[in-house]
């Protein structure tokens, strides 16, 4: 028995030199702070322009200028022969200056028609009917109001007549949308008249 109990001890003694290496404890890792957020705007002091791009010079439209014909060269008359000096001299008559041609005016650019909506025949007739109805109502109100007009009412009458004149001009141009708007404004002013 003694032998048996010693056998395990011998094994411990022989194995004592072969102990397993214990790893050293881990070193604490230094924690780096997070990178700061990028700024919301960056000052743009360095300007970089793109490279020059080639272009065709024929692509640039040429402006045509009105070329004036060269003015005829002025020829001076030959100097008059000198007369001998006399005691009484008559002052020389001033020579009329040669007439210069006034510069030719540049041709005016033709006025373009204003942009307006294209209305169908039915829409045109409807707007024209509305305009006529407003004009009749305005005439009725003006007829009733002409008797006793205050200064305020007189200025309203002038403005109403101005709107009606502009309405007629718009109708002649064929701008029925504008004519309708002008007749509507005239009717609103006519409704402000104090009718007794």
At 61, list the tokens. 């439209």
In a domain, 99, yes or no: no
In a domain, 103, yes or no: no
In a domain, 129, yes or no: yes
In a domain, 136, yes or no: yes
In a domain, 33, yes or no: no
Average confidence score pLDDT of the chain: 74
In a domain, 179, yes or no: yes
The pLDDT tens digits of the residues spanning 82-105 come to: 655 555 555 555 565 655 665 566
In a domain, 6, yes or no: no
**Residues near 106 by beta carbon (within 8 Å), at least 6 away in sequence:** 66
Of 190 and 67, more confident: 190
The CATH number of the domain where 148 resides is what?
1.20.1270
The pLDDT tens digits of the residues spanning 154-188 come to: 888 889 899 999 999 988 888 888 888 999 999 89
**Residues near 100 by beta carbon (within 8 Å), at least 6 away in sequence:** 71
In a domain, 3, yes or no: no
Structurally, the chain folds into a number of domains equal to 1
At 80, list the tokens. 């008059």
The domain in which residue 163 lies consists of 121-192
């Amino acid at each position: 028995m003694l032998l048996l109990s010693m056998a395990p001890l011998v094994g411990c003694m022989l194995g004592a030199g072969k102990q397993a290496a214990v790893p050293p404890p881990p070193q604490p890792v230094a924690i780096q702070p997070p990178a700061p957020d990028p700024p919301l705007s960056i000052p743009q002091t360095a300007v970089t322009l793109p490279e020059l791009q080639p272009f065709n010079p024929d692509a640039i439209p040429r402006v045509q200028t009105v070329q004036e014909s060269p003015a005829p060269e002025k020829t001076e008359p030959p100097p008059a022969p000198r007369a001998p000096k006399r005691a009484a001299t008559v002052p020389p008559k001033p020579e009329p200056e040669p007439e210069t041609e006034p510069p030719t005016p540049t041709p005016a650019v033709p006025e373009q028609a204003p942009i307006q909506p294209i209305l169908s025949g039915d829409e045109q007739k409807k707007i024209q009917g509305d305009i006529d109805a407003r004009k009749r109502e305005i005439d009725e109100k003006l007829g009733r109001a002409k008797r006793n007009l205050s200064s305020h009412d007189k200025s309203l009458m002038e403005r109403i007549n101005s709107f009606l004149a502009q309405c007629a001009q718009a109708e002649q141009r064929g701008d029925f949308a504008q004519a309708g708007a002008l007749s509507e404004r005239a009717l609103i002013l006519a409704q402000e008249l104090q009718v007794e």
